[in-house]
Structure 1
Amino acid sequence: MGWGGSTTAANAVLTGPYYLLGGLALVISGVMEWIIGNTFPSVVAITFGGNWLALATIMDPAHGIASTFPSGTSSPDYNKALMFYFAFWTFLTAVYFITSLRSNIALAGVFFNISFANGLNAAGYGELGMGNQTVANALFKAGGAFEFVVVCFAGYLFVALMLESVKMPFGLPLGDLSNALINKKKLS
């Protein structure tokens, strides 16, 4: 969102965390969830781990992906490719939002907001691909606002799960949605 004068030029600093915290840690946690039979969290963690690994690879100067385009990151083809990537993630996170409606409000809040963030980022890259820097910046700023809301929901969820994991005598409500929708079996 441009806070503190930050720009996308700072993304190279985040390459390591994207690889290790976003990518590797999420893939490992997804495999651990799969081992204990938690399909939904497993699929979410592994796909998001793959997302962070992909973004790290795209941004990593060692791979030089942007340099393969005539104008680097300003190339229309580069930005259109990112537009399609984030459009796919808009669809995927929308599916995750719908399926999270069987879990809790905090998790649904994460996926609801990340769906909008991805859609706005896709639109922003589309505008960059057409050379509309001003419109792209506004779309990225709006996407960043939705991402900030994601961080708030995810942070709340993290604290709630950590409190539960160590059996604290108090906890944070997550807003149980497990009974909000009729089970498939009851519809038959």
Structure 2
Amino acid sequence: MAAATCVRFLLQSPTRGFIFSPRAVAASSSPFLSRAHRLGPGDDEIYERTRVSIMQKEPDSGVMIHSYSSRGFNIDGNKVLGPCAVLPPAILQWKVGGYEDITEESVSLFHMLEPKIEILVIGTGARLERIKPSVLALLRSKGIAVEVQDTPNACATFNFLTSERRLAAAGLIPPPVSTALEVTHE
């Protein structure tokens, strides 16, 4: 009713006579411009159901880390012993003993890849450890974002990034045996 009153006001102006605005005429004649009207199958010209056709299935989402232990990792069914470098096309042994051994030379394989990776996730073991600032500066100068985390969180972050189809790589050090959650049977 407010729309009809507004239309009458626009169409009858006391000073100029009748004003025929295309917008006012369309608003008075079209029930579809009302907020209360919902489209239904009876509104054939405007109503149409959305259809989705899958032309081709997406390829595999990439490498996924399924589990880790103090000895290594299970990556897509492949058991990898010790530290490893997970790259978009391959899984390699990474020759580092601990986070202290991560140097400019040990990360050189990550910035020599083609196509260039967007982000490198580094897992430092059971705890988050500091990486040498020169290593981080080198990777950032090559245009690679770096995320340093403890290994359990680094595995989860890497899986998330690859599921989003990001060009990510990971350098992972297995966490040592933990006695914090030891279960004893009596």
Instruction: Give the TM-score normalised by structure 1.
Output: 0.22
Question: Highest relative contact order (Cα 8 Å, sep 6+), 1 or 2?
Answer: 2
Structure with the larger strand share = 2
